[in-house]
Amino acid sequence: MNEQHIALLRRSVRGWNAIRAAAPQRRMNLSDAYLRDADLRAADLRGTNLYGANLVHADLPHADLRAAYLSDADIRRANLSHADLSHADLSHADLSDANLSHANLSHADLSHANLRHADLHGAHLRDAYLAGADLYGADITGTILEHAAG
């Protein structure tokens, strides 16, 4: 984990995104980061290691989390509406009560994820892996589950 990167991300998503644009292939390590209640709207977090991160109640609408590693992350009550989580690893993540409406979760690994009472209406879960995922009470109205497995 890089404390300077965490501080920058908390301070300025625009500054963070500028660093990402300058070195898009660079893999960022924010594992175990404390980002509770952070305003991360439209943050470029693609490919970022967020293993075990605390993103409780974080605001991430329209965030780019393609191929991000979010295994074991605590993402309860976070706003991920319209976020791109395609190809992300969310295995064993806690997404209970999260807003994932209209999010792109195609090809995401949601195995053993807690999605209890999550809002998934209009989300795309095409080819998502859902083995062992807990969807009790989740709103899946209009959710695209084509070829989802598990």
Q: Are the beta carbons of 80 and 99 closer than 8 angstroms?
A: yes
* Average pLDDT score over residue span 4-19: 92
What was the pLDDT predicted at 45? 97
Average pLDDT, the chain: 95
CA atoms within 13 A on the CB side of 66: 4
What is the distance of C-alpha 106 from the center of its chain? Answer: 12
Res 1 pLDDT > 70: no
- The CATH class, in words, for 1-150 is mainly beta
Query: Model confidence over 80-133: pLDDT tens digits?
Result: 999 999 999 999 999 999 999 999 999 999 999 999 999 999 999 999 999 999
Neighbours of 15 (CB within 10 A): 11
